Amino acid sequence: MADVGLVGFPNAGKSTLLSVVTAAKPKIANYEFTTLKPNLGIVDYRDGQTFVMADIPGIIEGAAEGKGLGHYFLRHIERNSTLLFLIPADADDIKKQYEILLDELRRYNPEMLDKDRLIAISKSDMLDDELKAEMKAELDVDFKGIPYLFFSSVAQQGLMELKDQLWTMLNKEV
Ligand SMILES: Nc1nc2c(ncn2[C@@H]2O[C@H](COP(=O)(O)OP(=O)(O)OP(=O)(O)O)[C@@H](O)[C@H]2O)c(=O)[nH]1
Ligand SMILES: [Mg+2]
């Protein structure tokens, strides 16, 4: 059973993240629905500690009604305690994408929204400092209270911070 489930539209960079933080070798490509079945990987954290990450096929609007690869794979993250939402830095509307993802999870099973959530803006190597600052100002408003961060698998930026944040969420006292 995985600790962290990756949630995102197709092409968001989920499998790429899995490939850089674990030894898993998922298929990665620049088209939608590259991943057709879930992949699991073990993330090496500090001091030999580990946690499990699950990469599932991309979720699209209507997934709960069976669009795309839909419903079938959401059950693979149903028991994860933490969901990592991946939204690419070049998305037309980051907030909208987040809301669609959340809505699909809710329609699948409202209890999915009880899980801890972290939003990670992927492919942030495509942003310069100025654009990133502008986006942060917007996201602080859009995501009030929900933790978010920027990272890039390709440029290996923000990965330690991402793992730290996930580890803290997985190990928080309840
Ligand atoms: N610039 C940039 N491109 C990236 C990054 N991470 C992934 N990509 C590219 O984005 C495309 C999609 O990556 P995948 O990891 O296959 O995306 P996915 O979310 O697993 O896609 P599905 O399996 O279709 O749901 C590939 O062309 C990757 O090379 C990144 O950090 N920066
Ligand atoms: Mg994939």
Mean pLDDT of 93-110: 94
Here the tokens at position 152 are 């890039």
CATH code of the domain covering residue 118: 3.40.50.300
Name the pTM for this structure.
0.95
Within-domain flag for 115: yes
Structural domain for 118, as ranges: 21-125+135-170
Mean pLDDT rounded to a whole number for the chain: 93
Nearest atom in ligand 1 to the alpha carbon of residue 55 is: 20
Q: Is residue 12 part of a domain?
A: no
- Residue 100 CB neighbour total at 10 angstroms: 17
In a domain, 16, yes or no: no
Which residues make beta-bridge pairs with 41?
53
Query: How many angstroms separate the alpha carbon of residue 109 from the centre of ligand 1?
Result: 27
Ion ligand 2, residue ranges at CB < 5 A: 14-15, 34-35
* pLDDT digits 0-9 by tens, 147-162: 999 999 999 999 999 9
> pLDDT per residue over 71-87, tens digit each?
778 888 888 889 999 99
Report the number of distinct structural domains present in the chain: 1
Residue 6 CA, closest ligand 1 atom number: 19
**Are the C-beta atoms of 105 and 113 separated by less than 8 Å?**
yes
User: Is 6 among the domain residues?
Assistant: no
Ligand 1 touching residue 19 (CB < 6 A): no
Given a contact cutoff of 8 angstroms between Cβ atoms, the answer to whether 101 and 9 are in contact is: yes
Average pLDDT over residues 117-136: 97
Instruction: List for the chain the helix, strand, coil content (%; round to 5).
Output: 40, 20, 40
pLDDT attached to residue 74: 85
Nearest CA, atom 10, ligand 1:
13
Is residue 8 domain-resident?
A: no
Q: Tell me the pLDDT band of 63, cut-offs 50, 70 and 90.
A: confident
Please give the average per-residue pLDDT across 108-128, as a whole number.
95
In DSSP terms, 55 is beta-bridged to 39
Residue 43 placed within a domain: yes
How far from chain centre, in Å, is Cα 28? 15
- Residue 1's pLDDT is what? 64
> Which residue, chain included where needed, has tokens 């809505």?
103
pLDDT, mean of residues 134-155: 95
Residue 113 placed within a domain:
yes
Please check whether residue 118 lies inside any domain of the structure. Answer: yes
